A and B are shown apart, each in its own frame.
Chain A
Amino acid sequence: MKKDININVHHLTRVEGHGNIVVNVKSGKIEKCEWQVPEAPRFFEAMVRGRHYSEVARITSRICGICSVGHTFASVKATETALGIEITPQTKKLRRLLKHAENFDSHVLHVYFLVAPDLLGAPSVFPLVPTHTAVVKRALQLKRIGHEWGSLLAGRTTHPTTVVPGGFTKLPTKKELEALRKVILGAEPDLLATLDTVAALAPKIPPFSRPTEYIAVSSDEEYGLYDGMIQCTMPDGKKERIKVADYKKVTNEWVPPQSTAKYCKHNLDSYAAGALARFNNNYEMLHPKAKETANRFGLKPICTNPYMNSVAQAVEVVNDVYKSVGIIDELLSAGIKDEELVKPTKWSKGASAVEVPRGILFHEYEYDKNGMCLYGNCIIPTNQNHANIQKDFEALVPELLSQNKSEKEMELALEMLVRSYDPCISCSTHFLNVKFVG
């Protein structure tokens, strides 16, 4: 029977910011199928103009409360490129260690608090407290480890104070790094239990596939989180590396009629950024234990199921733990040395690419001879994923109709799809909204 479907999800929950899902089907014919992002621009690029280079990262780190480390790195790296600053190997290692902390912290939150409720049939984490107490407690414990890990290196987890152009203003001591190593390895039992939870829930992940282009930072030195070139992997496995300075040739921003947010496209009509894109691009650079985890979950490159982004995040959590232990060992072996901040050698324009939990992030700045910012540009990963979510919708809705899914089942499948991208449409407000009781 040809049916009518009307899905209007306004302000989708468990994603960050404001996004709508609108699907209208009349007598079996799809009339509308849209992922809408009606959010106002935030004008951070305008705010950095006229600011001294030493202030810019402080401002742009405020773009996001969860990816503030990544935004700080993208900012200082672009500034360092523009100002001809070559950081030391020690700084690079410490930044990589901090990048893993952010990835770990964010992925734990997404997998446990935002995705698991879907797979357990709960509207949020709260109903899971009495039924899955140990799981919720484990999530909070892992989140706490992420906080300690990031705070040691960044001065504080959110909006780092120690990361500046040219290096670090404060370095961890040998004793602190040794303690951190113990804390990270102390997470192993909870980590293994997490993988068991993910393995138990994985069969509930919808079996959907839509080949697309996958774009991520890629490097021969690391699993492409902190530094590298831009790499595109096509569904047939063909790879291409592009210089970071040419990032606009990759992003090609445009604004569709149904959205106020910018969309991106490269070789195809859309591309994917995020954990799955990193996995598809950089599988070979994963730690062996992360590869074992991927194998356990049946996750292989090139995976074309966007719902598997959450599983790729679990694989990355394992990678974050063991790669970080390796970095700490290298730092301890070399000894932590006091280093002066590296000074600028020129005043020009520079771009950077960093992976934040949700995908590849670009910053670019231009400075005058006094070190004042003339131009800024930030392209966040969620915007790069909007077009891909739209294309997924266009492929998924006909599939769901052919499977004779109900309106509610279709709505949940589309909501889960959006949530699997872990979108961060904007940082929302945090004010209390309360009434007195008693």
Chain B
Amino acid sequence: MKYIIGIGNYSMFDDSIGIKVIEHIEENNLIPAGSEDSIRAIDLSGNLLNLFNYLNHSTEKIVIVDTAKIESSSHAASVTVSVPGEFIIFSPSQVESTKNLANISTHEGDLIKVLALAKETDYYIPEISIIGIFPKEIKNDFGLSPELSSKLPVYAKQALDLI
């Protein structure tokens, strides 16, 4: 089984982009015909610990779509994602979290730390790719910035191409 998983908070504007990509895939029936039983689009919202449910040997691949802020580093790709709506594709092993959380919970999550916990507790980690989309604005509101909403088809296609 392969999974495209959207992460974020629906009511925090651009932080919802991962969920909106999943909605876009579902509403437009973008899973290729014949693959409905082998590819699933999952809205995980902020329940990052539920990712553990997909970390097993029956999972072939996971593509995660999430909002991402990339701190400056020597990696050339970081320059690309300074523009709202642009995105970068990476694997969990390529990055380290700079999020300042003392813990993980279902509300305030840190995907990288959840995956680190999975590794430390001997969970099987299938191939994972992350599409990190640079937000324009994260605030208490529904919706998306035009820079992100106009690119929903692009993000969805990218996720499907990767899977």
Contacts and interface: CB of A to CB of B under 8 A. Distances in A.
27 contacts: A13-B103, A109-B49, A109-B105, A124-B104, A126-B116, A133-B121, A136-B121, A140-B117, A143-B49, A144-B53, A147-B50, A147-B52, A156-B42, A157-B47, A424-B107, A427-B107, A428-B12, A428-B107, A431-B15, A431-B138, A432-B67, A432-B111, A432-B112, A433-B69, A435-B78, A435-B96, A437-B95
A370 to B, nearest CB: 22
Interface of A: 13-14, 16-17, 40, 42-44, 47, 59, 62-66, 68, 106, 109, 113-114, 117, 123-126, 129-130, 133, 136-137, 140, 143-144, 147-148, 156-159, 424, 427-438
Contacts of A158: 43-47, 50
Given A133-B121, A436-B75, A431 B66 contact: yes
B105 A16 contact: yes
A159 B45 contact: yes
Given A47-B142, A424-B107, A436-B94, A430 B48 contact: yes
Contacts of A43: 140
A16 B107 contact: yes
Contact of B11 (A63, A113, A117): A63
A431 B107 contact: no
A201 B23 CA distance: 43
Contact of A114 (B66, B94, B95, B103): B103
Given A156-B42, A431-B69, A432-B67, A144 B52 contact: yes
B95 A436 contact: yes
Contacts of B112: 432, 434
A114 B102 CA distance: 10
Contacts of B78: 435-436
A64 B108 CA distance: 11
Contacts of A133: 121
Interface string B36-66: 0000001111111110110000000000001
